[in-house]
Structure 1
């Protein structure tokens, strides 16, 4: 009787401790929650050893270390994410996500609502492809970027290059440029 009890206890323990595999929708939800709370240690558990981000012609492959740099860059702008919809198609997720940030606000596209096709390898996110940003006004976006870059080059050349610097320091300089530009326009 004791042996039967011990075997049943061990069996229940092992079944209860088995890893529950997350669905792709759950992985995407947890990924965006981790981005929202700026928790990279949690976020990296949902991405593959390498992850590729694509937006138009822009294709950027990342390792965990280089993706951390992108994560820090984005967090400087205090970007928040809210999932609007998740649809599963052929083991991929089409995610509609609303993003708000200081940068998007300056570029007059806040919030930015975009759709992403998210692919998986071995149960982890391996690719995030930007499909479309609904309601985005890219002409205003580009006009604001051009105006900021021109103004910075003429008035604060020490910040030159911020627009292409995808490091945390680049994001800090981007914010400085925005603040100086706004202060000058008042």
Structure 2
């Protein structure tokens, strides 16, 4: 599949499903060059009403941030409708499993022009528990703020360092009961 991605899409028309699968493969292997090489000119993501456009170089920080959480994406369904690919995509990573205890699933529309991805639109959350996500995020942020203020602000830092701090915060929070028990035993 990587050889297909390396080909010049302008010289040889590659079908849309192959492009979508190559994109997911690049995400799963944290291959930045492969992923940005699939986009037409800039990297465009639209998530409901939230629109983000990055230069290919400007996308690097967000890509590195996501890669730290070891994401695994899967295309659950793919349909070519009205010259767009409609994808049902599952995403699982350490952060998502921590915040909602299971992968989340989205309905995405991939627009392709000239053999490259023009944009990817998340048009619907199909399996996302917003209440649980918010509750777990707030508990994590509040606990970190109180017990590890050196990590405060990790939730807003979408750089590689921010993701590493997020991972550290999840680890510390997950081990909080063990640490408390050890402290109690040592004081006896």
Name 2:134's counterpart in structure 1. 142
C-alpha separation in 1, matches of 2:110 and 2:101: 23
SS of 1:129's equivalent?
strand
Superposed CA offset, 1:87-139 (max 9, x none): 11222111111111000110124211111111123321121111222222110
When residues 22 and 99 of structure 1 are mapped into structure 2, their CA distance, relative to the original with a 3 A threshold, is same
Distance 2:17 2:137 in 1: 34
Distance 2:165 2:48 in 1: 25
Distance of 2:168 and 2:49 partners within structure 1: 28
Aligned match of 2:16: 24
The Cα RMSD (Å) is 1.6
Which residue of structure 1 aligns with residue 72 of structure 2? 80
1:153 aligns with 2:145: yes
Q: In structure 1, which of residues 158, 169, 180 is the aligned counterpart of residue 172 of structure 2?
A: 180
User: What do the CA deviations read for 1:145-173 (whole angstroms, capped 9, x no partner)?
Assistant: 11111111111111111111111111001
Residue aligned with 1:20, SS: coil
Which consecutive unaligned segments of at least 5 residues does structure 2 have? 1-9, 179-188
TM-score scaled by structure 2? 0.84
Structure 1 gap ranges (5+)? 1-17
Residue in 2 that maps onto 1:169? 161
Q: Tell me if structure 1 keeps the 8 A contact 2:48–2:124.
A: no
Q: How many residues align?
A: 169
